[in-house]
Amino acid sequence: MSWGLVSGVLGFAVVGFDPFSVLILAAALGAGARRRALVAFAVGTLLATVVLGTVLGRSVHHLTGYLLHEVRHVPGGWRLAVELVVAAALAGWAAHRWASRDRPRDPTSPPKGLSARALLVAGVLWGLAGVSDPGYVGAVLLTAREDSHLVMAGALLLWFLVAQSPMVVTVAALAAGRDSPAVTRVVAGTQRLVGALRPVATAVVALAALALLADGVTYVVSGRFALPPH
């Protein structure tokens, strides 16, 4: 696994940082779910994230490689249009994140059935919902350039451990006991961490939009792009 892949995946993990999984765990814990069921939710989310990403990445591997190669030959006007559209989308997303930074979040309610099987299914569905997360999609497309299934799966596992770090830490803390002070401290700590990292993720998205916009302006002024095709 190259350093470029690792750094790219880590960047997308920051963008896709998910604070809501741990809130779902906290809600399920408060509703009486057992530790086994909570661990099942986390395992389901992990499996869905890695397996889905690997399958999607493999399915678009050849197409992605072709596009990344042929982008050198795309007319400048077409590339400029694509960059401006992507920059506008990223800027809009960053603006939405900033505008809703103080809005109270209502995470998906835990399922009525709190058995391990029910929460495993809920975790799989929660993981599959990752296709709506630009950070996850970006990581999948990045890993799609790799030839090895193991490298792709390993990179997506790294993405999961960082993007879902609040849930990972909470599940690890559950080993100390369902009602232990350690779990309470971890949940409270991850909620504070979420509040601190949300502006960072928003800033990363905004910087990406500015970089693409600057690249487009450079092309308009000089006739050449500042950013390499890949």
> What is the distance between the alpha carbons of residues 145 and 48, in angstroms, rounded to a whole number?
20
Please tell me the distance from the alpha carbon of residue 117 to that of residue 3, in angstroms, as a whole number: 38
Mean pLDDT of all residues in 58-73: 60
| Confidence at 158, pLDDT banded by 50, 70, 90 | very high
Task: Give the mean model confidence (pLDDT) for residues 146-150.
Answer: 85
Residue 47: pLDDT band (50, 70, 90) is very high
In the predicted model, is pLDDT for residue 163 greater than 70? Answer: yes
- pLDDT-derived band of residue 49, with 50, 70 and 90 as boundaries? very high
Check residues 227 and 51 and name the one with the higher pLDDT: 51
Rounded to two decimals, the pTM is 0.61
Q: Does 199 or 197 have the greater pLDDT score?
A: 199
The whole-number average pLDDT for the span 8-12 is 88
pLDDT band of residue 62 (cuts 50, 70, 90) is low
Half-sphere exposure of 57 (CA within 13 A, CB side): 27
Q: What CA–CA distance (Å, rounded) separates 137 from 131?
A: 6
- Most confident listed range (40-54, 68-82, 205-219): 40-54
Q: In 3D, which of 99, 7, 9 has the Cα closest to residue 53? A: 9
* pLDDT at position 24 over 90: no
Determine the average pLDDT of the residues in 107-136.
Answer: 76
pLDDT of residue 20: 78
Q: How confident is the model at residue 176 (pLDDT cuts 50, 70, 90)?
A: low
100's CB contacts (< 8 A; 6+ apart) are none
> For 145-154, 180-189, 196-205, which range has the lowest pLDDT when averaged over its residues?
180-189
Structure tokens, 53: 């990403």
Q: At what angle do helices 165-174 and 35-59 cross, to 10 degrees?
A: 150
What is the mean pLDDT of the segment spanning 155-162?
A: 93
pLDDT at 111 over 50: no
